[in-house]
């Protein structure tokens, strides 16, 4: 476990060199320009070009040397073993703090990535979310690929056995995995390849048919990310036009053996809601009310992106109730602790304080979204009411109001567009 160059070892900062295959190289002896150890970096001096324009009076040995700068990379690269088949392969992830996320949408999609260096703007982080084994095609997020059993509630043992058995014995499974796993090349990563790796990761997870064994929280999040990719692709017309026909052919092929495959944003988001609702009821990863409220906020946001605003409002109102009850309980416990001879430990109080702050943030955000949705609903109601009034001709305001109310228009809108006459008092007004 020691660095082969200096003999030291940094548990938080160590790498493998893809050139010499040595592991546990400490950060001090890893070259982040070439992404190899410093020994190999010395052998990889940048190529040089001789300027062919020989100046008058200058000998051949004095011809100008022009050095080519190596292309910068935003990635760390390591050789990692596949958790299923054990084959070592190159995996990459973005260097820490190399970009920041801005403008988060209501379903948590990042709208804008701001890079520390302009040269990296051509990379799009969501495309690289999945890691892939080129040998057996096992695919999972970069968070779970290296150590899928790190959580006590992990289902990886069941998933691994099922994946191996079905990939070997079921022609349908083999055909789909091979199709999605072919030609995955991270040096040429694009939306088509990213959609394939996301579909592959989802398909593998769904090989477990038992709801108790499935990781519905993970599957729901993967469907959500797939939905983001479809959404972005629809917004990037030039890219979409180039791969549209290829993507349509892929989905058509997959539907033969996977009829419920999500081939567009809407179907991906609907599956995300289904899986996340299931996770809310059964997932062992949801250990606190704060996590529950955060998950409900996400589900509400997906409903809103699907233009299912009424469903979104129901979920938001539900999470507000949960959050406020939990906040009252935590506040009561803290106050009761202060009155006792043996107050809660400082660490416990700190944990409660963090939970209260997170709940306050979620409550505030939920109220803002509810306010926006109600304003949007009133705007639509007003538009609908005006359209109805146009068809009524010259009728008294009272009759117009009654018709609007019968049509389900909000009373406030009905009164606004067909107001009651002002009452006169004693003939003075």
Q: 369 and 340 share a domain? A: yes
Cα(23)–Cα(15) distance, integer angstroms: 6
Q: 132 and 237 share a domain? A: yes
Picking from 264, 286, 308, the residue at the C-terminal end of a domain is 286
Q: 136 and 239 share a domain? A: yes
pLDDT of residue 157: 92
Question: Does any domain span residue 28?
Answer: no
* Overall average pLDDT of the 351-377 stretch: 91
Domains: count for the chain: 3
Domain that holds residue 353: 292-382
Question: Does any domain span residue 89?
Answer: no
Question: Does any domain span residue 18?
Answer: no
Picking from 262, 286, 310, the residue at the C-terminal end of a domain is 286
Q: Average pLDDT of the chain?
A: 86
Question: Does any domain span residue 60?
Answer: no
Digit-coded pLDDT (tens) for 150-165: 887 889 999 999 999 9
Q: 246 and 306 share a domain? A: no
For the entire predicted model, the pTM comes to: 0.77
Phi and psi at residue 75, in whole multiples of 5°? -100, 150
Q: Tell me which of 345 and 162 has the higher pLDDT.
A: 162
Question: Does any domain span residue 82?
Answer: no
Q: 204 and 318 share a domain? A: no
Phi and psi at residue 301, in whole multiples of 5°? -60, -40
Digit-coded pLDDT (tens) for 404-416: 999 888 888 988 8
Q: 320 and 397 share a domain? A: no
The strand pairing partners of 26, in sequence order, are 14
CA separation, residue 396 to residues 276, 393, 413 (Å) = 51, 10, 16
H-helix or E-strand spanning residue 368: helix 346-390
Q: 266 and 225 share a domain? A: yes
Q: 228 and 170 share a domain? A: yes
What tokens were used for 197?
């790796």
pLDDT at 64 over 50: no
Q: 120 and 189 share a domain? A: yes
- Please tell me which of 25-29, 152-156, 167-171 the model is most confident about, judged by mean pLDDT: 167-171
Share of the chain above pLDDT 70, in %: 85
DSSP letter assigned to residue 107 = T
Digit-coded pLDDT (tens) for 71-115: 789 999 999 999 999 999 999 999 989 999 999 999 999 999 999
Question: Does any domain span residue 19?
Answer: no
pLDDT of residue 69: 58
* Overall average pLDDT of the 109-135 stretch: 96
Q: Which of 85, 258, 87, 271 is nearest to 173 (CA)?
A: 258
How many CA atoms lie less than 13 Å away from 21 in the CB half-sphere?
3
Question: Does any domain span residue 250?
Answer: yes
Q: 210 and 339 share a domain? A: no
Phi and psi at residue 140, in whole multiples of 5°? -155, 170
How many CA atoms lie less than 13 Å away from 129 in the CB half-sphere?
20
Cα(20)–Cα(314) distance, integer angstroms: 58
Question: Does any domain span residue 370?
Answer: yes
Q: Which of 153, 134, 38 is nearest to 91 (CA)?
A: 134
Digit-coded pLDDT (tens) for 257-300: 999 999 999 999 999 999 999 999 999 888 888 999 999 999 99
Q: 127 and 180 share a domain? A: yes
Q: 249 and 157 share a domain? A: yes
């Amino acid at each position: 476990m020691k660095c082969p160059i200096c003999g030291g070892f940094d548990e938080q900062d160590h790498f493998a060199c893809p050139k010499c295959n040595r592991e546990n190289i400490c950060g001090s002896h890893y070259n982040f320009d070439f992404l190899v150890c410093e020994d190999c970096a010395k052998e990889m001096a940048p190529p040089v070009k001789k300027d062919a324009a020989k100046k008058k009076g200058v000998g051949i040995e004095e011809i100008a040397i022009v050095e080519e700068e190596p292309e910068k990379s935003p990635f760390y690269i390591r050789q990692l073993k596949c958790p299923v088949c054990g084959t070592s392969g190159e995996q990459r992830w973005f260097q820490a703090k190399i970009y920041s996320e801005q403008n988060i949408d209501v379903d948590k999609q990042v709208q804008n990535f701001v890079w520390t260096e302009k040269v990296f703007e051509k990379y799009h982080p969501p495309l690289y979310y999945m890691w892939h084994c080129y040998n057996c095609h096992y695919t999972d997020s970069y968070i779970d690929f290296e150590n899928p059993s790190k959580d006590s509630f992990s289902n990886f043992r069941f998933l691994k056995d099922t994946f191996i058995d079905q990939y070997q014995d079921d022609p349908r499974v083999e055909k789909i995995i091979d199709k999605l796993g072919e030609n995955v090349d991270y040096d040429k990563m694009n939306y088509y390849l990213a959609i394939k790796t996301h579909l592959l990761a989802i398909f593998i997870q769904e090989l477990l048919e038992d709801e108790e064994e499935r990781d519905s929280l993970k599957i729901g999040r993967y469907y959500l990310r797939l939905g983001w990719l479809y959404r972005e692709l629809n917004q990037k017309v030039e890219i979409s036009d180039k791969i549209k026909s290829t993507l349509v052919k892929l989905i058509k092929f997959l539907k033969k053996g996977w009829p419920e495959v999500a081939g567009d944003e809407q179907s991906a988001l609907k599956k995300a809601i289904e899986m996340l609702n299931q996770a809310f009821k059964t997932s062992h990863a949801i250990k606190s009310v704060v996590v529950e409220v955060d998950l409900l906020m996400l589900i509400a946001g997906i409903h809103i992106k699907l233009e299912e605003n009424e469903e979104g409002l129901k979920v938001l109102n539900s999470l507000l109730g949960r959050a406020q009850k939990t906040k009252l309980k935590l506040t009561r416990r803290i106050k009761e602790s202060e009155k006792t001879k043996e107050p809660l430990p400082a660490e416990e109080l700190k944990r409660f304080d963090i939970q209260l702050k997170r709940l306050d943030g979620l409550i505030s955000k939920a109220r803002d979204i509810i306010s926006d949705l109600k304003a949007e609903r009133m705007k639509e109601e007003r538009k609908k009411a005006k359209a109805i009034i146009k068809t009524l001709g010259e009728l008294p305001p009272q009759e117009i109001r009654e018709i609007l109310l019968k049509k389900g228009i909000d009373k406030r809108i009905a009164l606004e567009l067909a107001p009651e006459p002002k009452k006169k008092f004693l003939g003075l007004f």
